[in-house]
Amino acid sequence: MLAGEPYIADDPELTADAARAERLTERFNASRADDPDRIRVLAELIGDLGEDTYVRPPLRVDYGSYITIGPRTFVNTGAVLLDVAPIRIGADCQIGPNVQLLTPTHPVEPEARRAKWEAAEPITIGDNVWLGGGVIVCPGVTIGENTVVGAGAVVTRDLPPNVVAVGNPARVLRAVTPDA
């Protein structure tokens, strides 16, 4: 699964891992902002959670343990992080509401799909990236540091560092001038 090889999702070990993630996600999503256990539950769910990172519920994950979120990153409400393959979110990122990071892929061929075969490709979000509300990032995509992706964009291919990208499919609109 993590190596990008096809797998069957209802494998007993994967099912147990997904059930663990569902229990932790439910606890996190039901917690109040002032609940002292909230960050502990999130840290138990997420594979690697950076310091001073804030995730606003509700959150949805497949396993949670294959997600890395860098320090000082903000993830707004309604995030869907399907971590069948690793998801790496850098430091100082801004993730808008209802953003979807989707690593799973499914066969185009009907028989393989009917047989429940799946695969996945990792997603990497560089440092200081801003994903606007409703952005969808497809399997295998890397977004370079300092890049801004406009609300509602669907990112189907890698985006370089220091650009603004918009649309479906996302396309580079212009460069971002780094601070001097």
| Residue among 86, 106, 117, 164 flagged as catalytic | 106
DSSP-assigned letters across all residues of 43-68: HHHSSEE-TT-EEPSPEEES-STTEE
How far is Cα 133 from Cα 153, in angstroms, rounded to an integer? 9
Active site residue 59: no
Q: At what angle do helices 12-30 and 38-45 cross, to 10 degrees?
A: 160
> Residue 30, SS3?
helix
- Token couple for 125: 């979000």
Q: What is the 3-state secondary structure (H, E, C) of 84-128?
A: CCCEEECCCCEECCCCEEECEECCCCHHHHHCCEEEECCEEECCC
Q: 10 Å Cβ neighbour count for 116?
A: 12
Q: 10 Å Cβ neighbour count for 41?
A: 19
Catalytic residues: 106
